[in-house]
Amino acid sequence: MQTDSAKELSAKEKRSQQPSRKKAAQAYEIAMQTITDAEHLTIKELHQRISEDVQLCDMIPPSPDAFGTYLREAGIKRYSTHAKSATGSVVNARDL
């Protein structure tokens, strides 16, 4: 027999079911198929490219950080293996 707490969705699961999260995940999936070299982009770069697409821009949150959070909550995890992320400082000069 399940307890009441086991029947309820966790807060993370509830958030992942919100329409905004589902739209962001859908925009990600479309972007991965339509944007050249999307698999090599960071979340921030991918967010920028999606925000430039007239059909997809309304599907993502205004912030790249929120976009990354939405994707992680939807079970989409991106770990960049692109060479630029593996060299030098973890902080870019342009981010200072």
Q: If you write DSSP's letter for every residue of 56-92 in order, what string do you get? A: TGGGS-SSHHHHHHHHHHTT-------GGGSSS-SS-
Q: Backbone dihedral region of 37: left (phi > 0), alpha (psi from -120 to 50 degrees) or beta?
A: left
Number of domains in the chain: 1
Q: How far apart are CA 40 and CA 48, in angstroms?
A: 14
Residue 80 lies in a domain: no
pTM of the full structure? 0.68
Residue 6 lies in a domain: no
Q: If you write DSSP's letter for every residue of 22-34 in order, what string do you get? A: HHHHHHHHHHHHH
Residue 43 lies in a domain: yes
Residue 84 lies in a domain: no
Residue 85 lies in a domain: no
- Higher pLDDT pick, 79 / 78: 78
Residue 22 lies in a domain: yes
Domain range for residue 46? Answer: 11-75
- Higher pLDDT pick, 80 / 94: 94
**Structure confidence by residue, pLDDT tens digits, 19-37:** 888 999 999 999 999 999 9
